[in-house]
Amino acid sequence: MTVVVTGLGSVSSLGRDTATFVRRLLAGDRAIRPASAEERAGTPAEQVSRIDAWSPQPEINAMKARRLDRGSQFAVVASLEAVRQSGFPIEEKPDRVGIALGTGSAGSGALTEFIRVLLTESPEAAPPFHFPNTIANAPASQVSIELKFLGPNVTITQKDPSALNAVIYSVGAIEDGRVEAMLAGGIDEWNALYSLAMDRMHALRGLRRPSGIVQGEGCYVLFLEDEEVARARGARVLARVAGYAFAGSPCPPYAYAEDEGAAERGIREALGRAAIDAADVDLVMLSRNGRREMDAMEERVVSRLFKGRPATVAVKDAIGEMAAGGGAELVAAVAAIAAGSARTALVHSFGAGGNFLSVVLAAP
pLDDT band at 255 (very low <50, low <70, confident <90, very high): confident
Query: Is residue 228 domain-shared with residue 145, that is, in the same domain?
Result: yes
Residue 223: inside a domain? yes
Query: Over pLDDT 90: what percentage of the chain?
Result: 76
Whether 238 is covered by a domain: the verdict is no
327 found inside a domain: yes
Residue 102: band (very low, low, confident or very high) from pLDDT cuts 50, 70, 90: very high
Give yes or no: residues 69 and 189 share one domain.
yes
Distance CA 202, CA 255 (A): 9
Cβ–Cβ < 8 Å for 266, 246? yes
Q: Which residue range(s) make up the domain with 60?
A: 3-232
Residue 314 pLDDT greater than 80, yes or no: yes
- Judgement on whether residues 273 and 207 belong to the same structural domain of the protein: no
Domain closes at, from 232, 260, 280:
232
- Output the pLDDT for position 71: 94
Contacts of 280 (CB under 8 A, 6+ apart): 343, 344
User: Nearest CA to 186 among 90, 283, 321, 314?
Assistant: 321
How does the average pLDDT of the chain come out, rounded? 92
Distance separating alpha carbons of residues 340 and 72, to the nearest angstrom: 32
Strand-pair category, 311-313 with 283-285: parallel
Higher-pLDDT residue of 11 and 127 is 11
Neighbours of 235 (CB within 10 A): 19
State the average pLDDT over residues 3-14: 98
Read off the pLDDT band of 284 (50, 70, 90).
very high
Number of domains the chain is built from: 2
One domain, residues 126 and 262: no
Domain boundary among 232, 267, 295: 232
